[in-house]
């Protein structure tokens, strides 16, 4: 059974997914079209094991879903609006001071 996350929960899940560059690249690839894991691994230049771990995270965050296709499994965005949200984020202007770093720069979850 699927549950619908609250407003804050949705943002937290989206933020968790975007905290890793590989997950960002996966989401951007799936924004273009659904894909199979082997194809994604080749396109992104990562091992299938590493890709599998990131896909599991994106599934846990509720951002991607699996679609059985015979003996294979295809991945796609859970909601087409996520593609629009990614596009909006890509075109947003972010103000960053050149002499500043993220307060959490020591952690891997920072920009």
DSSP string, 25-90: HHHHHHHH--B-HHHHHHHHT--HHHHHHHHHHHHHTTSEEEEEETTEEEEEESSHHHHHHHHHHH
The hierarchical CATH code for the domain 10-91 is 1.10.10.10
99: its two tokens: 């002499």
What is the per-residue pLDDT across 40-99, written as a single tens digit (0 to 9) for each?
999 999 999 999 999 999 999 889 999 999 999 999 999 999 999 999 988 887 776 666
Is-above-0.85 flag for pTM? no
More confident of the two residues 111 and 97: 97
pLDDT value for 5: 59
- Report how far residue 81's alpha carbon sits from residue 95's, in angstroms, rounded to the nearest whole number: 25
């Amino acid at each position: 059974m699927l549950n619908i996350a609250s407003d804050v929960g949705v943002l937290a899940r989206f933020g968790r997914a975007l905290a890793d560059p590989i997950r960002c690249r996966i989401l951007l690839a799936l924004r273009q079209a659904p894909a199979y894991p082997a194809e994604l691994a080749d396109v992104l230049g990562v091992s299938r094991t590493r890709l599998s771990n990131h896909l599991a995270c994106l599934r846990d965050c509720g951002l991607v879903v699996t679609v059985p296709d015979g003996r294979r499994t295809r991945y796609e965005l859970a909601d087409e609006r996520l593609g629009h949200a990614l596009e909006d984020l890509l075109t947003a202007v972010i103000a960053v001071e050149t002499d500043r770093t993220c307060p959490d720069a020591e952690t891997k979850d920072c920009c």
